[in-house]
Structure 1
Amino acid sequence: MGDLIDEWAKQMAEAELSGPLPRRWAHTQGVAERAFEVRQVLGIDASLLVAAATLHDVGYAPRLAVTGFHPLDGARFLRDEHGADERLVRLVANHSFALLEAEERGLREELASEFPLLEEPLLVDALVYCDMTTTPDGGRTTVEERVAEILGRYGDDSLVGRFIRRAAPEIFGTVGRVEAALAAQPR
């Protein structure tokens, strides 16, 4: 991976999101910026993180929304239409505790069997960190403010609200681990 995959990811996400979903595109760009900032904790997987951050919400694109569950739709698009790297596809499919939301949607088995979780905790955690510290408009935020914003936008009793309340303790723990890894980096 490297600059070429990062550029490919950016072009792909921009083509799918910038026109129909400009706010989602702004969020995506912010998540990619966070990934670029935290890449030093990942070594050789830094570019993979940036690409996954750039593509994590591509499944929201109207033309890709087959199931209505963006991690699954985005991963299938990347795998089926682009033959993307398996690790990249699995990161997109499972970003930000997607298995918990898949369960709420009755899609857990489908997601888990097609796109198993990566056994790379720091890489998976870093993508959660990037997504959950970025506002819908691409700005920086705290994880607590982000979870509250999601609950406010969708409502406590909505499918997404139920998911985010279940996932919140895991999200907070994940962000804490990445912040600790960043703090341990030499300056």
Structure 2
Amino acid sequence: MAWARQVAKAELCGALPRRWAHSLGVAARAVEVGRLLGKDADLLSAAAALHDVGYAPRLAVTGFHPLDGARFLRDEHGADERLVRLVANHSFALLEAEERGLREELAGEFPLLDQPLLVDALVYCDMTTTPDGGRTTAEERVAEIRGRYGDDSVVGRFIRRAAPEIFAAVGRVEAVLAAQPR
């Protein structure tokens, strides 16, 4: 986890401080839900810290941050394959990749992990954290994204399509959290 936070900080803190604040908030949420994942808790924390690293200006090759971030982690850091695949596919990125004409490229290079709870946990952490790192609901987060980008933008079209899946993933994690002893 310390390595992931250092890499994310180096790429985001100076260039994109608000994105860095969001990443810190997502990582904090990951610590809270990590207990659901046992040995994969550290993997979730690392993916949470790094999920938006592809926004860093020097890494923005395609302009699609999940793909750019995953390639950076794989190519420059030789990062764990599962970590790279989580970053590449976070928060239903395949749907946005489709909007951008990059679905086959993303899916071919970085197949979705077959670990539903881990994948859902990263969605939960990302979609219940504001751009400034605070807590929010998934519904408020989706509304904020739509308002920031506009419904007719690539991101706006993606988030409208992804919203039912986002809400379902968040609901599944909340159900597992509610069933856990405190």
Give the TM bin, normalised by the shorter chain.
Answer: over 0.9
Aligned counterparts of 1:184 and 1:123: Cα–Cα separation in 2: 17
Matched, 1:165 2:160: yes
Return the offset for 1:14: 0.2
Q: Secondary structure at the match of 1:63?
A: helix
Backbone CA RMSD of aligned residues: 0.3
Matched, 1:111 2:113: no
Map of 2:39 onto structure 1: 44
Deviations 1:145-171 (CA, angstroms, capped at 9, x unpaired): 000000000001110000000000000
Q: Pick from 166, 171, 178 the counterpart of residue 173 of structure 2.
A: 178
Q: Which runs of 5+ in 2 are unaligned?
A: none
Map of 1:96 onto structure 2: 91
Q: Which runs of 5+ in 1 are unaligned?
A: 1-5
Aligned counterparts of 2:20 and 2:77: Cα–Cα separation in 1: 20
Q: Secondary structure at the match of 1:84?
A: coil
Q: Secondary structure at the match of 2:108?
A: helix
Q: Read off the aligned partner of 2:78 and give its amino acid letter.
A: G
Q: Percent identity?
A: 85
Aligned counterparts of 1:82 and 1:24: Cα–Cα separation in 2: 21
TM-score (normalizing by structure 1)? 0.97
Return the offset for 1:119: 0.2
Aligned counterparts of 1:158 and 1:71: Cα–Cα separation in 2: 17
Q: Pick from 10, 13, 24 the counterpart of residue 18 of structure 1.
A: 13
Q: Read off the aligned partner of 1:17 and give its amino acid letter.
A: L
Matched, 1:132 2:88: no
Q: Secondary structure at the match of 2:121?
A: helix
The runs of at least 4 aligned residues of structure 1 exceeding 4 Å deviation read: none
Map of 1:142 onto structure 2: 137
Map of 2:80 onto structure 1: 85
Aligned counterparts of 2:97 and 2:120: Cα–Cα separation in 1: 18
TM-score (normalizing by structure 2)? 1.00
Return the offset for 1:48: 0.2
Q: Pick from 50, 65, 78 the counterpart of residue 55 of structure 1.
A: 50
Matched, 1:74 2:69: yes
Aligned counterparts of 1:47 and 1:20: Cα–Cα separation in 2: 26
Aligned residues: 182
Q: Read off the aligned partner of 2:131 and give its amino acid letter.
A: P
Q: Secondary structure at the match of 2:58?
A: coil
Q: Read off the aligned partner of 2:35 and give its amino acid letter.
A: Q
